[in-house]
Structure 1
Amino acid sequence: MTAKELHLSNPSHPAQITLRTYILAISLSLGPALTPFVSSFLRSKPSSKYNRKALKVLLRQELGFGGFAFAVTLSVGVGATVRHLWAGFDKKSSPDSKYIKIAKEKLAYSNLTSAQKTFVSYALSSAIGILLLQKGRRRSNIQNTPSRTLDLTLLLFVRAVDALVQSFVYKRSSRVRVRERSSNVEHRPDLLRQRPLNENHQRVRIDMRRLTARIDALVFWACSARIMWCFFYQPDRLPRSYVKWISALANVDARLLRALRLMYEGQWSYTQGYTSLPALLETYANDLGFPGAWGSPSVLPSVGGQKADIIWNELGVTGRSGVGGLPCELVHGGVGSQIGLAGSCTANAGLRAARALVQSMAIYLPVHFFPVLLTRPKSLLRPHHIVATLISALRSASFLTSFIASYWYAVCLTRSLLLARVFSSVSHDFWDGPYGCILAGCLSCGSSIWIENGRRRGEMTLYVLPRAIRTILPDAWIKSGNRGVLAAERLVFVLSFSSLVATAIHRTDSLRGLSRWTLAFIMNGPDTGFWKGRTSVDPSIPVTPDSPAER
């Protein structure tokens, strides 16, 4: 570091980094936590759950030493200070006292690169930070519950691994560029002046982007399939807010979800005509305006064929000749009943898609316009920028719409329209079970990610991946709370945190999306990264597909 870089007025000074970190961290922790309190105070009858006493407890927890803001600020601020002091050893004007010599020897000064020094500096501080964070969360933890810091650890782990993958992918493109520049200088120097980026390098660069996009799409597809399957059968493995959000978009009656879980647990069977809750779907059918027998496994046919058709005629069910199982009207939840299409699978998927499109636009319009208002408000004065932003929002909304519609149609194709008809002798204990229509829907919906553009596709993948990883971790291991589990989480947290910060400082091009913008703001201030709308990168290294430089 130069003397200018070590000056307090420099945005990279530890004091400024610490201040920006605390402002951002306290906003992220207190903002969502205070929202229900504010809404409760504004009501004519405030909720007893969000009273002044609860608010004091919340503020004491979030503003204390074990709160998220303090722990993260300490991890970043102390690490920046250690790195700042360590950099002072490089100055020739520094006093060559015996203490400085001892410090140099202890820190293996002559053997560490700048990036390694950064990693070590933040590893020391983040180790203290995770200890404080876990201690603060443990005070409000009840016994045998998952770690309260696990979601944060997984988020950092996923972002750190993504940075390594991006670095590997784009280093290959960089090496190709360096080799071809050397070849051009040796054989055709005029080509280097006329075409600094030749066609072969451009092709390699495009191939790298396509490879990254395919990796993102594949990971998102696998993660969304796992998350959706857990939503139906193991919702406790997902965050409660995530379950509520999926429930709102899926629009599935809780009784139907309960029946699916009973089937998964072996407490609901068409073949045995058995259920542990006989009135569960019978009352559901009555509420939809259909006979209660339509929801009874002891009455419904377990397989297709002529016997199933006889039962359907007796029950007054139309459109299910050749197949068994629950009538489509109940699976669709009454969607289309007002226009006489409650049993139509196509109408069900289409109407749900239309509803999802309206909901999705309400979600994505602020997501696409708010960053523009923050960073480039004048661009909204130009009509073509408004149209481009609207198209981008519509594209994102189409992704979510396709996600929902493809799920429902895959369910209907499996249990009613195609597979159950072709294999009519297979019981609907399978077709309506966890590895039948539900699995088909879970496997199909994630393919809608290809509708999204490359930048958002990558960011959405990084959003769902930590949640998917959480669902495959053994509950017994997570809830045990023993020292080995805590130590493993602490190690992952420290390594991931330190790697991300070191990457943000020394290899910014390997970060993307929120990781890149957030760390650019923390380390360099509001005049860089997301907040400025552009970022400086090494011209010899291709920028990532989602960087502002390529917009």
Structure 2
Amino acid sequence: MDLTLFAVTRAFDVIIGELWSQRKSRRVAVGKWTKVEKAIAMLTDSSIFATSSALIMWAWIYTPERLPRSYNKWIKSAAAVDQRLLLALRHCRWGELQYGIETGQAPILQGMCKDYGWPLVWGNPAKSVPFPCEIVHMGTGKSCEYHAASRFVRSFVWAFSTYLPLNLVLTLRRPTKRGLQYALKSSVRSSAFLGTFISLYYYGICLARSRIGPKVLGTSPSSCQQIDSGICVASGCALCGWSILLENEGRRQDIGLFVAPRALATLLPRRYLWENQWRETMAFAASTAVVFTCVGERPERVRGVLGKILHRVLIP
């Protein structure tokens, strides 16, 4: 299924890219290519990543089984979140945890309260409406802004310790001063991107819970329930993906096309019944035909690293 979605994503990218290219040529020829159309072209890859990230992060919170196991594990490692907090958000989403009502769910967050030294009442949704945002901060204090900043620093260091060795290994095959500078610069940029992604995700949740949500929806138990049952997570999901603007244009293409199939997988069945397998086969065959044909006739339309690899393999 993953391979099919990858092929379908690439085929759509080829087709839509070609249609947009033809439109641009016609509009430029008659002098009607507008600033809005230029902006759309510039933000397309960023929008693909932001939308895909929103779907993936929503699924990671509420339906993690729809993500590949290795990808789910990587997000969990990067997010560094207490699993009891995720469990509480899920119970709130499905109505098993309700503010102002005793539903027997207090032990979930009260376990966190014991570990972090908070008052036990914070973890009781029947009495604490809503539970303090400090629980979301997981030990960094009351300030949502400080929590977001600390998340950026911790995530940056975590990512940098991963990206720098990889980039250096690639560079040391043919070491040059310029190559080493590029490896360092690329590692810093990618680490800043990931750090911003994570900090925006958490700050988006805080914005909905503590900064904007209560002023718009109110502070009644039903309003708090509405915020914590989906709005706060949706806010984080909507913000985090725009961190891709920190990456260069080429990386935006590759990263956007990398996450798009995983986002589609959260919306479609992971496996089809045997009698419906032909749908997946047809989609893969048609998509592969589109991509391979384009490599032969319009190789510039197959973007990113995949386009370069297929061009070398298929074009003599």
- 1:371 Cα offset (Å): 5.1
Partner residue in 2 for 1:440: 235
- 1:367 Cα offset (Å): 5.4
Kindly tell me: are residues 370 and 522 of structure 1, through their superposed partners in 2, closer, same or farther at Cα, counting changes over 3 Å? farther
Partner residue in 2 for 1:294: 122
Partner residue in 1 for 2:273: 481
Per-residue deviation, residues 176-212 of structure 1 (Å, max 9, x unmatched)? 89x79xxxxxxxxxxxxxxxxxxx8xx97x9987543
Is 1:522 matched up with 2:313?
yes
Partner residue in 2 for 1:453: 248
- 1:344 Cα offset (Å): 2.1
Aligned residue pairs, count? 313
In 1: Cα distance, 2:78 partner to 2:67 partner: 16
Partner residue in 2 for 1:62: none
In 2: Cα distance, 1:174 partner to 1:424 partner: 51
Partner residue in 1 for 2:225: 429
Structure 2: runs of 5 or more not aligned: none
Report % sequence identity.
33
In 2: Cα distance, 1:163 partner to 1:371 partner: 30
The alignment's TM-score, normalised by the length of structure 2, stands at 0.89
| SS at 2:81 equivalent | coil
Structure 1: runs of 5 or more not aligned: 1-149, 181-199, 303-324, 337-341, 526-551
Is 1:331 matched up with 2:130?
no
Kindly tell me: are residues 429 and 364 of structure 1, through their superposed partners in 2, closer, same or farther at Cα, counting changes over 3 Å? same
The alignment's TM-score, normalised by the length of structure 1, stands at 0.53
Partner residue in 1 for 2:213: 419
Per-residue deviation, residues 7-40 of structure 1 (Å, max 9, x unmatched)? xxxxxxxxxxxxxxxxxxxxxxxxxxxxxxxxxx
Partner residue in 2 for 1:346: 145
2:18 corresponds to which of 159, 167, 190: 167
1:266 corresponds to which of 55, 74, 95: 95
CA contact (8 A) 1:285 1:295 kept: yes
* RMSD value, Cα: 2.7
| SS at 1:400 equivalent | helix
Partner residue in 1 for 2:158: 359
In 2: Cα distance, 1:165 partner to 1:422 partner: 39
1:93-132 alignment, distance < 5 Å: none
Could you say which structure has the higher helix fraction?
2
1:281 corresponds to which of 98, 109, 114: 109
Kindly tell me: are residues 389 and 332 of structure 1, through their superposed partners in 2, closer, same or farther at Cα, counting changes over 3 Å? same
Kindly tell me: are residues 173 and 262 of structure 1, through their superposed partners in 2, closer, same or farther at Cα, counting changes over 3 Å? closer
CA contact (8 A) 1:345 1:409 kept: yes
1:506 corresponds to which of 283, 286, 297: 297
Partner residue in 1 for 2:196: 402
Is 1:214 matched up with 2:6?
no
- 1:522 Cα offset (Å): 2.1
Larger Rg: 1
In 1: Cα distance, 2:134 partner to 2:27 partner: 59
Partner residue in 1 for 2:259: 464
| SS at 2:266 equivalent | helix
Per-residue deviation, residues 312-362 of structure 1 (Å, max 9, x unmatched)? xxxxxxxxxxxxx1122321112x2xxxxx222222111111011112223
Kindly tell me: are residues 369 and 174 of structure 1, through their superposed partners in 2, closer, same or farther at Cα, counting changes over 3 Å? farther
1:248-259 alignment, distance < 5 Å: 248-259=77-88
In 2: Cα distance, 1:344 partner to 1:355 partner: 16
- 1:418 Cα offset (Å): 3.5
Is 1:155 matched up with 2:6?
yes
